[in-house]
Amino acid sequence: MNRTYRFAVSVVALLVAWVALSVVDPELFPPPWVVAALAVDLTLYGDVGGRSALYHVGITFGRVLLATGIALLLAVGIGIAMRVNENVARVFETWLPIWMTPPDVVVILIVMVLLGFNTVAIVTAVSFVCTPFALVSIWEGMQDLDPDLVEMATTFDADRGLLWRSVYLPHLMSYVFASLRNLFGMTWKVAVIGEVFGITNGVGARIRYWFLQSNVEEVVAYAAMFTVVVLLIEYAVLKPLEQRAFAWRA
């Protein structure tokens, strides 16, 4: 009840602010009902080129999902390697800050030059940009593990396999979920930037098209649609999954 209430309040607050802005400057901030109507229109009757907006959202979503999965797998894999081998840890601890530094746009451009203007390039670039951020929290989780638990496991002669299955990985789960959430917030933004530069489908491509037509309404409509999709994933998939995974929490 309390949560539903809070959720309702924040949605209403957002809409009120949006409407207020649209009153001040309707050119730059189309009101929410115009955007909603346009989103429905683009979905049902298709965008220029005949494809439904859902197609473009779906294409982008597929890329985002792939890149998120790759980034998470890389982060967990490297995190484990860092825990197991001190040299690996030292190398990545040195390079992590540098890995996080290059501007997204530069990475995207270089990867596209290398791999061409296609989905593979986008997924590669997004994974490269986002992995270090997931790795930072996974590595933090690795170091947060209570050494007393490892000592306990030692006194019961737990071998490496048992230690990883029963201690390290379950402990890491909360960090994996935190990373996943951050990744989802991040990958789609980077993916859209990639699509803006020279690819013919996906949300970014449509945003580029409508931006060049000086049509703000369509740009906002696509951004809004994608935000709704990300929120849906958060509440319909991640939250319930998390609740099941952390049933042990009091």
Partner 1 sequence: METTVSSNGAEAANTGQETDTQPEIEFSGLRKSFENGDETVTVFSDLSFSITQGSFTSIMGPSGCGKSTLLNVIAGLLEPDEGTIHRDGVQIQPGNFFYAYVFQEPRLLDWRTVGENIEFALRGKGIPPEEHDERIERYLEMVGLADDVDSYPQQLSGGMRQRVGIARALAIDPDILLMDEPFSSLDEFTAKELRQDLLEIWKETGKTIVFVTHNSSEAVFLSDTVLILDGDGELFDHLSIDAPRPREVGDQALVETESRLMNRFFRHLDGTDE
Instruction: Please report how close the Cβ of residue 142 comes to partner 1 at its closest, in angstroms.
Output: 16
Does the protein bind partner 1 through residue 27 (CB under 8 A)? no
154 scored as a contact of partner 1 (CB under 8 A): yes
Which tokens is 242 given? Answer: 């998390």
Confirm or reject binding of residue 149 to partner 1 (CB under 8 A): yes
Pinpoint the alpha helices (H) of the chain. 2-24, 32-45, 53-84, 86-99, 104-115, 119-144, 147-155, 160-163, 169-196, 203-212, 216-232, 239-245
Stretches 69-77, 124-132, 159-167, 177-185: which one binds partner 1 (CB under 8 A)? 159-167
Contact 71, 134 (CB under 8 A): yes
> Among residues 203, 195, 211, which one has the least CA distance to residue 228?
203
* Residue 160 within binding range of partner 1, rule CB under 8 A: no
Which of 54, 167 has the CB closer to partner 1? 167
Interface map 220-249 toward partner 1 (x if CB under 8 A): ---------------------------xxx
178 touches partner 1 (CB under 8 A): no
Shortest distance, position 148 Cβ to partner 1, whole Å: 5
Q: Rounded distance, CA 21 to CA 185, Å? A: 25
> Can you tell me whether residue 116 is helix, strand or coil?
coil
The only residue of 21, 88, 158, 238 in contact with partner 1, by rule CB under 8 A: 158
